[in-house]
Amino acid sequence: MRLLFLGDIVGSAGREAVIRSLPALRHELRLDYVVANGENCSGGKGLIPRHADALFAAGVDVITGGNHTFQHRELYPYLESTRGITRPLNYPPGVPGRGIAECGDLVVINLIGRAFMPADYDDPFRAVDAALASMSPNRFIVVDFHAEATSEKQAMGWHLDGRVTFVVGTHTHVPTADCRLLRHGTAYCTDAGMCGARDSVIGDDIQAVLTKFLTQMPTRLAPAEGPAVINGVLVEADDTTRRAVRIERVDREVG
């Protein structure tokens, strides 16, 4: 099994880069599955249904979410009706959508961290333990852990080592150089990065971000435009054991 995980898609620059590039990437990398974090896809915060549909049409199999999942109310019924889209599993009970998506023999679990995050979420470690306890065996399992703290992400990797195929971090939009196979066969990367404007501050307009830092005044942070980067992680897993055998970064510039 060969899977590509794409980091947070930011605004139109990232969305259009993925839509243009993904069909060729699926062929070049001989991909079985593509999972992408889409929580910044529409206007830099949140996701709307027509943009999700465009990603699915381009070849994304599962779209994951994060702290901006509920930015646009029009997504709420879509979360309930669409099998290939998730929001973090450990949101409090009663919110729309689901935290687990299945596609063929792939299961994707979406979690959100608590360290330095702006809301009080349920415990992601206990939430994923409960999910795995009730899950059918012999599946490829990918966990998108949308979290701020690198320590919390690394802790989740070790917590799930040997129990899932791949643990990948999202949210900070900066790709990390620590792709590795953990001791018991789980692939791990602290942050996949982003798909968004190359000349930006984590996908946002440079001048707007500088104004915010220099003045401390409320500033609208619009997504940047221009040439884009695609940050992702490729994982190959054994079809019998469902454990990872290879992991590497996939980073491209799209003019």
Whether the pLDDT of residue 112 is over 90: the answer is yes
pLDDT tens per residue, range 144-175? 999 999 999 999 999 999 999 999 999 999 99
The pLDDT assigned to 90 comes to 98
Question: Which domains can be identified in the chain, with CATH numbers?
Answer: 2-198+226-254 (3.60.21.10)
As a whole number, the mean pLDDT across the chain is 97
The angle formed by the CA atoms of residues 152, 139 and 112, to the nearest 5 degrees, is: 25
Whether the pLDDT of residue 119 is over 90: the answer is no
Contact yes or no for 23/59 (Cβ under 8 A): yes
Q: Which residue has the tokens 């946002």?
A: 204
pLDDT tens per residue, range 42-54? 999 999 999 999 9
- Catalogue the active-site residues: 68
Task: Mark residue 71 as left, alpha or beta (left: phi above 0; alpha: psi -120 to 50; beta: remaining).
Answer: alpha
The pLDDT assigned to 40 comes to 98
pTM: 0.97
The pLDDT assigned to 146 comes to 98
Relative to beta strand 187-189, strand 194-197 is unpaired
